[in-house]
Amino acid sequence: MNAPPPGWYPDQADPRYVRWWDGRQWTPHVQPAQPVQQQPAQQHPAAQRNDASAIELAMGGTGDAASVQQQVQQRAGVGGTVAGGGGTLFTEPVLVINQKAKLIEMANEYAVYDQHGRQLGSVMQVGQSGAQKALRLFTKLDSLMTVTLEIRDATGRPMLVLTRPATMWKGTVHVQRPDQSPVGDIKLANVWGKARFDFEVNGQRIGGMRAENLRAWDIKVLDHADTEIGQITKTWQGLAKAAFTTADNYVLQIHRPLQDPLLSMVVASALTVDTILSQNQS
């Protein structure tokens, strides 16, 4: 779908204002939002509707069952239906992690589906300060600040908490339970070349991830003996989203049943890739 035309759109940083979209990118020009009836339709096509969901739809958002199944089978190359699965984040063999597409991205937000398109949960960025949101809107310095994500089940209950401390180069994501008890760390093992991650629990390596290309579009998930136990595939999000947003989509396929803590580390792994690599590159 085409991107929205130039005009004043709701500013996600502050709903009291609208921000000018020039047809290609956001500009620094803002003004107070006016009542709908006072805004000429031809000048304020989105502000007149005051409907942020319409903007996300224009960005080609995914989430319906057909598009998720296409993402799994055609873009990630998962053949047919993978057997098994108990309908939860920790029992399904295939997880689809789609970042919510926004013209102005103030916080990372993802939906998690099974291979059939049923939503199993979500991931929300929490704990952002007003200063961090401002940095994210006008600069890229927010990528150097601490990021905290909650992995939630279908009812909205937190299951895991991922924290990436402020960093300049190598990244580490601390994985915890909601009660703050530690699960382990996912560490970026290199800065240059194909990305390599290690899963560490109590200082011991129990597995990891190895990118198969420099852009980290395909990543092998490994156990402690470097046997492949899963695959992460970055899937193309569509022309509109690729051109106008930083949203990324991933498919995680787990090849065999796993036990904790490795299971929790693997479930967290696709989010770690996006948080450490893609967000720093955006």
Domains annotated on the chain, with CATH: 7-56 (no CATH), 62-281 (2.40.160.200)
Distance CA 187, CA 203 (A): 11
As to burial, measured by CB atoms within 10 angstroms (0-12 exposed, 13-18 middle, 19+ buried), residue 27 is exposed
> Diameter of the chain by CA atoms?
66
Give the pLDDT score at 253. 94
β-pair type (172-176, 218-223): unpaired
Q: Is 274 helix (H, G, I), strand (E, B) or coil?
A: helix
Give the pLDDT score at 61. 42
**Is the CB of residue 231 less than 8 Å from the CB of residue 218?**
yes
**Nearest residue to 251 (alpha-carbon basis) of 121, 108, 98:** 98
Task: Say whether the peptide bond before residue 261 is cis (omega within 30 degrees of 0).
Answer: yes
Element (H, E) at 282: none
Q: 96 or 65: which carries more pLDDT confidence?
A: 96
Element (H, E) at 48: none
Question: Edge-to-edge strands of the sheet including 17-21?
Answer: 7-10, 17-21, 26-32
Q: What pTM did the predictor assign?
A: 0.70
**Is the CB of residue 143 less than 8 Å from the CB of residue 282?**
yes
| pLDDT-based confidence at residue 162 (cuts at 50, 70, 90) | very high
pLDDT tens digits along 83-94:
778 899 999 999
Phi, psi of 207 (to 5 degrees): 165, -165
Distance CA 102, CA 246 (A): 8
In the predicted model, what is the mean pLDDT of the chain? 77
- Other beta carbons within 10 Å of 239: 12
Average pLDDT over residues 143-151: 82
Average pLDDT over residues 24-50: 55
Average pLDDT over residues 249-278: 89
